[in-house]
Structure 1
Amino acid sequence: MNSLWLLVVGIILFILAYVSYGGYLAKKWGIDPKRETPSHTKYDNIDYVPTNSKVLLGHHFSSIAGAGPIAGPIQAAIFGWLPVYLWIIIGSIFVGGVHDFGSMFASVRHDGKSIGEIIKSTIGKRGKILFNLFAWLALVLVVAAFTDITASTFAFDQAKPELLAGARAGTASVLFIALAVIFGFAVYRKGAGLAVSSVAGVILLFICVYIGYIFPIFKFSKLTWQIILLIYITFASILPVWLLLQPRDYLSSFLLYAMVIGAILGIIITHPTLQISATTAFTVGEGAKAQYLFPILFVTVACGAVSGFHSLVGSGTSSKQIDKEEDTKLIGYGAMLIEGVVAIIALISVAYVAKAEGTPASIFASGVAEFMSSFGVPVQVGKVFVTLAFASFALTSLDTATRIARYIFQEFFEEVGKGKKSILTNTYVATIVTVAASIGLLVYGYTNIWPIFGASNQLVAGLSLLALTAWFAKTGKKTIMTLIPMIFMFCVTLTALVILIRNFFIGGKTVLLVVAVLLLVLAIVLIIETATTFKNVKTKSGNIKA
């Protein structure tokens, strides 16, 4: 089949959904462009900073995208391209987009607080404590999975010195981090104009890519890169958001947009034929390695259709930077639909280079580089460029996930300590504990971590939708837009966790088994807690609006 149709149809549907369904949600939820946002009422120039919507869109999109919309569809393609494609479209529009938009909007209405705080206001203090513990464990899995996948992408194999794509991308990434710090300091401390700084920053960004390609000096092993990345995310968690996190994500968004545009243009020119079947089988593999289309496909695609991580980003960092409430539609719903486009490109890439082997990054880079060669970009240059873009996705998720996990860890111990300050609420201690916990999972590698990451990540989405449903019901708004996606996500994720517990037990993966059991127990207890509270929720008319 000609893959161009998949891309064109997907983009058209996303545009129509943004205008129609996104507008419908904004109207029903009561988005108020005149209402003052937390970035103004709680301004502190560290976390709460009013930000231009275009800058924040780049920051938010870079943060939520991660490796998920690329690695997920590539791994889920074992079930064929059709079910993956349908879930990307339907999930992005009716589940992921609603989840992201709603989470950000709810956070803005709760002084930029996390989803956990929204659960506290609608379900109770115990609900917040349970959710924060669950969310923190899920974020530790995010940090572990993305650290391993990024380190694998950058790793240099001494036995194959001719393979330099990873070393080149790693060198460019290090230079890029330094550039981001300079950009942030220039814009937020020296008053440099955003337009001029953006042009200069993008030019210097591509110079970093060029230098990395010509002089790949950081030829490190996977272990060395893991150590470097763990040190990096530790600093990223505690530095002011304007100094590293926001400028790096903003500048990397141009890199990501360039990759997406290049891939789209290449697909239009080459219109590659899909080399894998539309569908394969409901069950792939046997025993502990068995993969079932339901529910595994839905948790494997992960961020390509819906991701609980997005609600943690939207309510953790992005909501604190929203300038006007109406920006939540562009940044929340819009960014999810853009991520859906990335997921479609990833699916087309793996379907085109069906026999390619290696990490998701190398498979994706091979496919997109082939597409980009159609308009004159050398394949090897294209591979380095796409590998760097992939790494930028993963790195933005890494630093954002660590920062949000730090927030949640501090919130958790403030809550259980009844507001009293202790060493566990300290910014540095919270960061160190989070990073240390992820180190214990790195030994399993991303291929083993990914299934439980996907399940926990999607379950966070279900719990976030549950919180939104309870809040909308309490405030007299319709709940049908979040209620149906919530029920579906619970069916998918709880089933997936049960299957993973079985597989981890058979495979003797003790740590992952313990984490999976803990996640399942926490989720069930929180659902029961919410169900009990939900029975007592009344609207002004005395009934919960469907």
Structure 2
Amino acid sequence: MNSLLLILIASVVFLVAYVTYGAYLAKKWGIDPSRKTPAHTMNDGVDYMPAKAPVLLGHHFSSIAGAGPIVGPIGAAIFGWVPVFLWILIGSVFFGGVHDMGALFSSVRHDGKSLGEVIGVTIGKNGKKLFAIFAWLTLLLVIAAFTNIVANTFVAVPEAATASVLFIAVAIVFGIFVYRQGVSLAIGSIIGVALLILSIYLGTLFPLQLGKTAWMIILLGYIFVASVTPVWILLQPRDYLNSFLLYAMLIGGFVGVIFMRPAIQLAPVTSFTVGKSTLFPMLFVTVACGAISGFHSLVGSGTTAKQVDNEKDIRLVGYGSMLIEGILATLAIITASYIGADKFKELLGQGGPVNVFSSGIGDFMTSFGLPFATGKSFVALAISAFALTSLDTATRLARFIFQEFFDVSGEGQPSPLTNRYVSTCITVVLGGGLAFKGWKAIWPLFGSANQLLAALALLALGVWLKQSGREHKMATIPMIFMFAVTLVALIQLMFANLGNILLLFFSVALFILAIVLILQAKAAFSKTASISKK
């Protein structure tokens, strides 16, 4: 089997899906380009602020991608490349795309509030509180997992660490000139990309070498600062410029596969049981980003919904971003599949899935003349940039949820726990404490919690669609499957973590919260439509 065929199949399937199924969802749900979005009606210059479609696409994709669509498919390669590839295709089109677009759309129609607000309207205040707790706990796992991944990447590829630090400075300058000095987006983009390339070059000359613990402490301090500053200073410009890294990496990998045409060496299917893992449910939990990921719903209904300039952008940003991530996940499984089992295990042991992916794409790029070391460093920078985006976006989202949870009045009245600095500090301290458990211990639980969050997001979307008189089966059918997958996975993790009190607590707490929310949603879903069609 030639890997070129895999990437071509994925590209054609996703393009057709965007044109057909994406348009179908927009029509059925009633997306209205003439309707004003919260970014305009509630513009505060901090969190609510309209962004042009290319900028918002860059922010949203950079936030949802992180290292997830790389770590997940490569980790699931133990089951063979065929089940992973099929799940990426089916999941992106009928599960993740619906989930992401629906979460973004429903949030836009609820003043850009989090998905918990949608649950509050459709299921009730208790459901909203329970979902907020669930989402916040999941975001702590996101912070813990991605802090580890970024720190490991910086230790393994110190050139990427230097480039990342310089890139943050470039993004701040870009934000100031474009949003406050009136420089056009086109000119700013050209200069910003040039400075980005310079940052990569300087990184190769002056690699920043620190230990993992030092990097983790620095990263936790960074995400605190980044998550409380106005979006125009860092979040929007950095994520927009990040998108160029992504596009370059995707194009480089795609072109490299075309020229190199590497043959698939990994077995199509290995076994239903590999070690202590079974294909069901662990394949669908391990491959989260790249197929469907609950974290995406928090991004869509958190930062992204507050920046949508026009409802017509929802399909591009929500559904389109998920399909682009599917391409990235396809490249990831190719990098794990073309090198053979022995080499795969060796690279995995040296630096984890990110090392496998960076080495693979770097190798593909040599087919059109780029030195392997340069290609690998560039890919490592791109991955760390996405993971950093996911980190501070997750922290900002956790802050939103924390503030909403303790805003008892619903009117934003100030109190210590609704203060953005206090809520962010609590989130960073707890997420950081969990981070020191290590990503290998966190990732399986993160995957289960993340996918269960996706099922809950689909549940909230399904209830809202039904109660507002819209078609809902496109959300409820994948919801049932995701609940079956994730509840079984959590039960398995409970038994696996009997000796680890902290991880056992998370497993049990998430399972109980999910069951209670399912029961409350079932009652709400059976009721006759009771809310207006927003």
Q: Which whole-Å CA distance do the structure 2 matches of 1:537 and 1:133 have between them?
A: 28
- 2:264: which partner in 1? 274
Structure 2: which 5+ residue stretches go unaligned? none
Q: Is the Cα contact below 8 Å between 2:143 and 2:435 reproduced in 1?
A: no
1:3 correspondence with 2:3: yes
- Paired amino acid for 1:534: F
1:193 correspondence with 2:184: yes
Q: Which whole-Å CA distance do the structure 2 matches of 1:407 and 1:537 have between them?
A: 31
- Deviation (angstroms), 1:46: 1.2
- Deviation (angstroms), 1:530: 1.1
- Deviation (angstroms), 1:416: 8.5
Q: Which whole-Å CA distance do the structure 2 matches of 1:492 and 1:60 have between them?
A: 26
Q: Which whole-Å CA distance do the structure 2 matches of 1:523 and 1:10 have between them?
A: 33
Q: Which whole-Å CA distance do the structure 2 matches of 1:75 and 1:481 have between them?
A: 29
Deviations 1:106-150 (A, max 9, x none): 111111111000000100110000000000000000000000011
- 1:515: which partner in 2? 506
Q: Which whole-Å CA distance do the structure 1 matches of 2:27 and 2:185 have between them?
A: 32
Q: Is the Cα contact below 8 Å between 2:107 and 2:113 reproduced in 1?
A: yes
Q: Which whole-Å CA distance do the structure 1 matches of 2:491 and 2:411 have between them?
A: 34
Q: Which whole-Å CA distance do the structure 1 matches of 2:279 and 2:174 have between them?
A: 45
Write out the 4+ residue segments of structure 1 that deviate beyond 4 Å after TM superposition. 416-420
Inter-CA distance 17–539: structure 2 relative to 1 (3 Å threshold)? farther
- 1:58: which partner in 2? 58
- Paired amino acid for 1:188: Y
Q: Is the Cα contact below 8 Å between 1:129 and 1:416 reproduced in 2?
A: no
Inter-CA distance 539–405: structure 2 relative to 1 (3 Å threshold)? closer
- 2:129: which partner in 1? 129
- Deviation (angstroms), 1:509: 1.6
1:477 to 445, 466, 470: 470
Deviations 1:211-269 (A, max 9, x none): 001221x1001111101110110001100011011111100110111000000000011
1:294 correspondence with 2:285: no
- Paired amino acid for 2:268: A
1:410 correspondence with 2:403: yes
> CA RMSD, aligned part only?
1.3
- Deviation (angstroms), 1:425: 0.9
- Deviation (angstroms), 1:443: 2.6
- 1:392: which partner in 2? 385
Count the aligned residue pairs. Answer: 524
- 1:29: which partner in 2? 29
1:13 correspondence with 2:3: no
DSSP 3-state at the match of 2:43: coil
- Deviation (angstroms), 1:421: 3.6
Q: Which whole-Å CA distance do the structure 1 matches of 2:393 and 2:528 have between them?
A: 34
- 2:82: which partner in 1? 82
Q: Is the Cα contact below 8 Å between 1:73 and 1:343 reproduced in 2?
A: yes
1:303 correspondence with 2:268: no
Q: Is the Cα contact below 8 Å between 1:353 and 1:363 reproduced in 2?
A: no
Deviations 1:421-446 (A, max 9, x none): 42111100110110111122123211
1:339 to 320, 325, 333: 325
Q: Which whole-Å CA distance do the structure 2 matches of 1:110 and 1:416 have between them?
A: 18
- Paired amino acid for 1:425: T
- 1:234: which partner in 2? 224
Inter-CA distance 197–420: structure 2 relative to 1 (3 Å threshold)? closer
Q: Is the Cα contact below 8 Å between 1:142 and 1:398 reproduced in 2?
A: yes
- 1:351: which partner in 2? 337
DSSP 3-state at the match of 1:302: coil
After superposition, residues 134-153 of structure 1 pair within 5 angstroms as 134-153=134-153
Inter-CA distance 317–419: structure 2 relative to 1 (3 Å threshold)? closer
1:530 correspondence with 2:516: no
Inter-CA distance 307–220: structure 2 relative to 1 (3 Å threshold)? same
- Paired amino acid for 1:245: L
- Paired amino acid for 1:338: I
- Deviation (angstroms), 1:537: 3.3
- Deviation (angstroms), 1:31: 0.8
Q: Is the Cα contact below 8 Å between 1:455 and 1:497 reproduced in 2?
A: yes
- 2:302: which partner in 1? 316
DSSP 3-state at the match of 1:46: coil
- 1:159: which partner in 2? none
Q: Which whole-Å CA distance do the structure 1 matches of 2:409 and 2:396 have between them?
A: 20
1:245 to 235, 239, 252: 235
Deviations 1:336-394 (A, max 9, x none): 00000000000000112342232211110000000000001000011100000111111
DSSP 3-state at the match of 1:321: coil
- Deviation (angstroms), 1:275: 1.5
DSSP 3-state at the match of 1:444: coil
- 2:454: which partner in 1? 461
Greater displacement, 527-536 / 397-406: 527-536
- Paired amino acid for 1:135: A
- Deviation (angstroms), 1:453: 0.5
DSSP 3-state at the match of 1:472: helix
Structure 1: which 5+ residue stretches go unaligned? 157-165, 541-546
Q: Is the Cα contact below 8 Å between 2:144 and 2:436 reproduced in 1?
A: no
- Paired amino acid for 1:37: T
- 2:374: which partner in 1? 381
- Deviation (angstroms), 1:532: 1.6
Query: TM-score under structure 1 normalisation?
Result: 0.94
Deviations 1:303-332 (A, max 9, x none): 110011111100101111111101000000
Q: Percent identity?
A: 58
1:432 correspondence with 2:432: no
Q: Which whole-Å CA distance do the structure 2 matches of 1:52 and 1:521 have between them?
A: 41
- Deviation (angstroms), 1:420: 5.3
